[in-house]
Amino acid sequence: DIQMTQSPSSLSASVGDRVTITCRASQGISSWLAWYQQKPEKAPKSLIYAASNLQSGVPSRFSGSGSGTDFTLTISSLQPEDIATYYCQQYDSFPLTFGGGTRVEIK
């Protein structure tokens, strides 16, 4: 199975800060990586697919990069509504696997 490791597990930042979350795959997954946002008590929401493509309607302050084993989700200017847990997921091979999540809080 492909293990997905996210870091940090949590972070606290101020409104307007640039926030970066990393995700590392235990083996190469090309660009078959997605990012999801989950607000408290809500279902996950799709943010980014194929490592760097924004889903329709996602604000442009979100961006993704990477390929192979190392990936990054960046929020260019953190907003109060971005408070959530973010998960990466590989869809290169079965079983589909998710990272452990990164909880983002406002300082």
Partner 1 sequence: EVRLVESGGGLVQPGGCLRLSCAASGFTFSDHYIDWVRQAPGKGLEWVARSRDKRNGYSTEYAASVKGRFTISRDESKDSVYLQMNSLKTEDTAVYYCARRSSGSGSYYPFDYWGQGTLVTVSS
Residues of this chain that interact with partner 1 (CB under 8 A) are 32, 34, 36, 38, 42-46, 49-50, 55, 87, 89, 91-92, 94-101
Euclidean distance between CA atoms 84 and 93, whole angstroms: 27
Number of H helices, E strands in the chain: 0, 11
Q: Which is nearer to partner 1, 19 or 32 (CB)?
A: 32
**Which helix or strand (DSSP H or E) is residue 20 part of?**
strand 19-25
Q: Which residues contact 41 (CB under 8 A, 6 or more apart)?
A: none
- We find the least distance from the C-beta atom of residue 16 to partner 1, in angstroms, to be 28
- We find the least distance from the C-beta atom of residue 73 to partner 1, in angstroms, to be 14
- We find the least distance from the C-beta atom of residue 39 to partner 1, in angstroms, to be 12
